[in-house]
Chain A
Amino acid sequence: MTHTNLEQIAVESVATDDSSRATRKKTPGAVSRVLIGLLATLTISLSGWALRSWRQESVEQLHSQCRRLSAQQEWTALGRVASQWSAREPQKADPWLYLAAADEGLKDWPKVIQHLEHVPRSDKRAVAALVRKSSIEFETLDRPWDGVHTCDEVLRLDPRVLIAHKQSIFFFAMTLQRAEMVRRIRKAISIRRESPESYVYLVSASWLYNGSLYRHNTRWLKSGPESELFQVAQALQVYTSQAKTDPEHAAEFEHIPTAEELLKKYPHNLELVAYFLNRTITEGDLDRVRELLQAVPVEIAEKDCRFWRAKAWCDDAEGHPELAESSLRKAYSLDPYWWQVHFQLYDLLRRQGRTEESAKFFAIYTKSKALSTEIMTLNRSVESLDSTKFCRSMLELAELVGDDAVATVLRERV
């Protein structure tokens, strides 16, 4: 009905205008022309005012209805009304937010994120909407890459949004994209928007296989069953926990290929090769370690401290301590927090009789190992972390390894 009136009003207004123009041609007196002009102006003004009033009233009605329907959790009706509103005011945030609320009530998640996407970025609620969107993408729709992109958009709008840092760091941690994870952690630290778990991930950047890898990657694989990234991250928790050889759990992980099978499938996968490197070093298979070092493109491998550590092991085993030291120091520069590199540097220098330098790295190892042990004994959740104590220890370690960027921020924190 409203819509019909609006149309009638528009038609009448145009007809009046045309007839005045015709009259003016017949009686072009000055007074008449002024009167006609005034009348026309008045008419147009009144029409505009009427239209605006009608529209305002209509939007208020829509808003009011949306509020009511939302409170009553009448999601279908809310969706209908909000849809009308959004058609009328697509540049406004509210109708999209109500639409999103309606579809969230109906659990139509793909539509929810569509609606949230429409929230104008200029609106002060855009950040909250996008944060909600990323949560749905990560946790409900299992579309983590979309979640990451949304987080990135959030951070472009406001780099101070803690949750966006947390979510994206978590994703890169859970998918074992360690270099990107560290880059994001350091970015968050530099703008003081890091959370305590950022430091947990930073300290464990080169060695941690989180206890939730299997669970999250199994979910995320739904969004891309052929995803190498998720397959490898999922499998690595199974391998590192030795779940496949545990009779109590073996059946549960029967569908996971063996590590050897997966490596055959993805022979150049960074994480998989790094896993085998560690295993093969422990087994003392020098030739195999050399082979594995070549399996990953050099430009990727040389940015990964695990490969430098492996090379150091080869150097050492072949009787080249000076090369081993050089490789270990490179590993140390790439990840100053990895306790195993600290230990190996201590061990290598000790064997060369360089007691003082060795003692320095032993002190670092003692601290980093203690922190790592604390991480390993967290009850599967960083929430159980005593963040004050942890940050204090982290500060000591950051100072020991000379990581000023981290130490400066931690000093403020503790």
Chain B
Amino acid sequence: MMPTTCVIRLDALMLGLLLGLSSGCGSDQGNSVNVPGQSADLEITAPAASKRIQAAETSLSELGAAQSAPEAVVATIHEIAFPSFEEVAEPSGLSFTYSNGASGRVLMVEATGGGAGWLDLDRDGRPDLYLCQGGDPATDCRYEQPLDQLFRQKPSGAFEPVTESSTIVEQSYSQGVAIGDFDDDGFDDIFVTNVGPDTLLRNQGDGTFQDVSVTAGIVDALWSTSAAWGDLDSDGDLDLYVCNYVDYDPYHPLPCGSEGKPGTCHPMHVEGVPDACFINHGDGTFSDESQARGLFGPGNKALGVVIADFNNDGLPDVYVANDTTPNFLFINQGSGIFVESSNAFGCAVSRDGLAQASMGVAAGDFDQNGWLDLYCTHFTKESNTLYKNLGVTGFQDVTGLVGLHTPTLKSLGFGTVMKDFNQDGHEDIFVTNGHVDDWRSKGDDYEMQPQLFSYEGPRFVECKFGAGDFFSTKRIGRGVAYGDFDVDGDWDLAVVHQNTPVAILQNTSSRGNWLKLRCIAIDNRRGVGVRVVLHQEDKVLTQVLAGGTSYCSSHEGSLIFGLGDDSAVADLEVHWPDGTLQRVLNLAVNQEWVLRQMPNGLSNSEMQYHTEVFSSFDVGRENNSDVLPDDKSHRTNQVN
């Protein structure tokens, strides 16, 4: 893990710093400003900020007078430690390429597929990986098509294909995957979205999976993309939200394109189809109750989904990213009934009031105000959008204000995650890009480089250099899933590309202190929906184990807090999915901890504290001694 540095020009940060000052984030007296949360302090020489940031005047005529002319900013070169990754799929033995089956027909479905899901299929504590496969989308011989693949991570850290032994035979034209323990037996199950009927694979706990789609009542023959697990009806078990895209049959494709050349159909020219929400009855069966529960909206063309509590009322809400139509935010009313409220919450359209071509969506609390923010990926020339969650009044599109507009204008983003990769206490954003059609004659790249943004408060800075060789290669990126595959307490990534190999990005960042948690709820062993607020001295950080996020992908069910330079013990407030609150005090950092929900947990209203520190990683030993992990002891601090 070599420290990696990036060199940036300070004038690019100048505005952001001034913005921060204007909102009371720093001194307005001096000429030197230190930006916290970085391994190397930024020092800038600038005119006194108070001269430049004046309260807005009430008339345009006074505006000019209120401003002094910008003075020269003396910018110097500084170094910032940015996250970095190393591509290790090949040395890890993981060889897989998602084939979209492109053969010149330019079928619309060829544009969207490719997802990955981290799961622990054998509960050995080492993340394994499920990868969707495409093939020929309009084949007459489906059974001859390539299978989705399951890779198990061996104790050595190498991956081995176990598809055959797992008895998984998933030959549909797959798009994405969602991992969840729907029967709460402690073993991760797999839901696969397809162009055509979706598949639910139940983990039988012995290394094999059973296709239970039909018996479980999972009936969705539409073109599905992303999916997410979450306890939508608050009954303890996991329900399933499935994004459906448009009404398109690859066997009877719409003629699209121009000037006699076939082209990918524009979603505005294809009818949308409703999403599905499969409510778990707790007996192994589901029923689609999307309409009855208010989980539908006009112009549904869904590609991305997040299930999380966006209004901090303790109930999971659903955010849906739609392609070219306004996004949805279904607010949970408390009885498993939802109301589409994206306009009331300000996260339906961009700052300009425009519906965007949303693909993937990331969630995280980048501004550390305790409310979950959203980041949506979009088409070229649109820029991705960061919706800052202000609290009870909803969201605000702050993309430009935090420096995220211009860097993504040329990109067509799909999978995205917002995580603190270098554990400096601030969320970073990873985006994988790639076009849906060959528009090179129009100036768009077809294959595109992925992007990594580091939050340097109050603006994000793109890590163009130093993040790793992976970031200099163009590909057609789709799904991204985060998981700590090397079990060292930081987030690694699986990135799916169309027609080029999947990448495993091992996190090689020079990182800060950290704390990793696995939360086991009483009725929900994967802890989906848990919200943990960490207090460490003056620092307050929030992490949420959301359902879904990214694009067509599924992540490891853990939380990792980046703590920067601070190695002091931390206190936790654990808000369990059932609404109970639990306090954990004096937790040592730079370790992975497993937290189990206390029976008869204390309610929020009582606001009583309860201290319970669980021994680290006791779950595997307690419940699954036959599949104990090898020596992957709790990592102590790797930060120098």
Q: Which residues of A contact B (CB under 8 A)?
A: 242, 245-248, 281-287, 290-291, 293-294, 298, 301-302, 307-308, 311, 314-315, 317-320, 323-324, 326-327, 339-340, 342-344, 347, 350-353, 355, 362, 365, 369
**Which chain B residues in 324-354 approach chain A with CB under 8 Å?**
343-344, 346, 349, 351-353
Given contacts A246-B443, A340-B353, A365-B353, contact A319 B22 (CB under 8 A): yes
For B394, list chain A residues within 8 Å (CB).
350-351
**Chain A hits for B353, CB < 8 A:** 339-340, 342-344, 347, 365, 369
Partner among A320, A342, A353, A365 whose Cβ is within 8 Å of the Cβ of B56: A320
The answer on a CB contact under 8 Å between A247 and B70 is no
Distance in angstroms between the alpha carbons of A286 and B343 in the assembled complex: 26
Q: Can you identify 30 A-B contacts, CB atoms within 8 angstroms? A: A248-B441, A282-B383, A282-B405, A283-B405, A283-B406, A284-B400, A285-B400, A287-B70, A290-B63, A290-B67, A291-B70, A294-B64, A314-B56, A315-B56, A317-B19, A317-B401, A318-B23, A318-B56, A320-B55, A323-B56, A324-B56, A326-B58, A343-B352, A343-B353, A347-B351, A350-B344, A351-B346, A352-B393, A353-B393, A365-B353
Whether the pair B403, A293 counts as a contact (CB closer than 8 A) is: no
**Is the pair B401, A311 in contact by a Cβ cutoff of 8 Å?**
no
Interface set of B (CB-CB < 8 Å, partner A): 15, 18-19, 22-23, 52-53, 55-61, 63-64, 67, 70, 343-344, 346, 349, 351-353, 381, 383, 390, 392-394, 396, 398-403, 405-406, 440-443
- Report the separation of the CA atoms of residues A105 and B157 in the bound assembly, to the nearest whole angstrom: 89
What are the residues of chain B within 8 A of A247 when measuring CB–CB?
Answer: 440-443
Interchain CA distance A302-B62 in the complex, whole Å: 11
Q: A318-B53, A351-B393 are in contact. Are A284 and B443 (CB under 8 A)?
A: no
A247 to B445: give the CA distance in the assembly, Å: 12
Check A311/B53 contact, CB under 8 A, given A287-B18, A319-B23, A365-B353.
no
Residues of A within 8 A of B441 (CB): 247-248
The chain B residue with its CB closest to the CB of A293 is: B63
Query: Which residues of the other chain, A, contact B403 by a CB distance below 8 angstroms?
Result: 284
State in angstroms the CA–CA spacing of A369 and B352 once bound together: 11
Chain B residue at minimum C-beta to C-beta distance from A343: B353
| Chain B residue with the shortest CB-CB distance to A353 | B393
Q: How far, in whole Å, are A158 and B515 apart by their CA atoms in the complex?
A: 82
**Contact, CB under 8 Å: A307 / B390:** no
State the 9 A-B residue pairs at the shortest beta-carbon distance, nearest first: A284-B400, A343-B353, A294-B64, A315-B56, A298-B61, A284-B401, A302-B60, A323-B56, A351-B393
Q: Closest B residue to A296 by CB, please name it.
A: B60
Report whether B63 and A282 are in contact in the complex, using a CB–CB cutoff of 8 Å: no
Starting from the known contacts A286-B18, A314-B56, 15 additional A-B residue pairs (CB-CB under 8 Å) come to A242-B381, A248-B441, A283-B400, A284-B401, A284-B402, A287-B52, A293-B63, A294-B67, A298-B61, A302-B61, A315-B56, A318-B22, A323-B58, A347-B346, A362-B343
Name the B residues within 8 Å of A291 (CB-CB).
67, 70
Chain B hits for A293, CB < 8 A: 60, 63-64
Q: Find out whether the CB atom of B399 lies under 8 angstroms from the CB atom of A284.
A: yes
Which of A302, A318, A344 is the one whose CB lies under 8 Å from B59? A302
Q: Which residues of B contact A308 (CB under 8 A)?
A: 60
Q: Which residues of A contact B60 (CB under 8 A)?
A: 293, 298, 301-302, 307-308, 311
* Cα separation A286 to B58 with both chains bound (whole Å): 17
CB distance from B612 to the nearest CB of A (A): 38
Among B58, B67, B402, max chain A CB count under 10 A is at B58
Residues of chain A contacted by B64 (CB below 8 angstroms): 293-294, 298
Give chain A nearest CB distance to B2 CB in angstroms: 33
Chain A residue numbers with a CB within 8 Å of B19 are 286, 317
Pick from A248, A282, A284, A353 the residue with the most CB of B within 10 Å.
A284
Which residues on B sit within 8 Å (CB–CB) of A319? 22-23
How many whole Å from B393's CB to the nearest CB in chain A?
5
In the complex, A298 Cα to B58 Cα: how many Å? Answer: 13
Report the minimal beta-carbon distance from A300 to chain B, rounded to whole angstroms. 10
Q: What residue of chain B has the Cβ atom nearest to residue A326's Cβ?
A: B58
Tell whether, in the assembled complex, residue B396 and residue A347 are in contact, meaning their CB atoms are under 8 Å apart: yes
A287 pairs with B352, CB closer than 8 A? no
On chain A, the residues within 8 Å of B23 by CB distance are: 318-319
Contact residues in A for B392 (Cβ distance below 8 Å): 353
Neighbouring B residues of A246 by C-beta, 8 Å: 442-443
Give the residues in chain B near A317, CB-CB below 8 Å: 19, 401
Name the A residues within 8 Å of B343 (CB-CB).
362
Complex Cα gap A287–B346 (Å): 26
A290 to B60, CA, bound (A): 10
Query: For the complex, what is the distance from the CA of A148 to the CA of B352, rounded to whole Å?
Result: 35
Residues on A with beta carbons closer than 8 Å to the beta carbon of B57: 323
Tell me the bound Cα distance from A340 to B354 in angstroms: 9
Contacting residues, chain A, for B18 (C-beta < 8 A): 286-287
**CA of A251 to CA of B55, assembled, Å:** 46
In the assembled complex, the Cα of A307 lies from the Cα of B53 at a distance in Å of: 19
Chain B residues in 8 Å Cβ range of A298: 60-61, 64
- The answer to whether B390 and A311 have CB atoms under 8 Å apart is no
Write the chain A residue with the least CB distance to B63.
A293
Contact B52 A281 (CB under 8 A): no
CA distance A302 to B390 in the complex (A): 32
Which residue in chain B gives the minimum CB-CB distance to A307? B60
Give the nearest-CB partner of B16 in chain A: A284
- Determine the chain B residues whose CB is within 8 A of the CB of A301 once the complex forms: 60
Shortest Cβ distance from residue A280 to the other chain B in the assembled complex, whole angstroms: 9
* Complex Cα–Cα for A343 and B351 (A): 8
The winner among B352, B353, B390, B403 for most chain A CB atoms within 10 A is B353
Query: In whole Å, how far is A59's beta carbon from the nearest beta carbon of chain B?
Result: 62
Q: Pick the contact of A311: B63, B383, B406 (CB < 8 A).
A: B63
Chain B residues in 8 Å Cβ range of A281? 400
B476 nearest CB across to chain A (Å): 20
By a CB distance below 8 angstroms, the chain B residues around A326 are 58
In the complex, chain A residues whose CB is within 8 Å of the CB of B398: 284
Give the docked Cα–Cα distance between A311 and B346 (Å).
21
A350's closest neighbor in chain B, by CB? B346
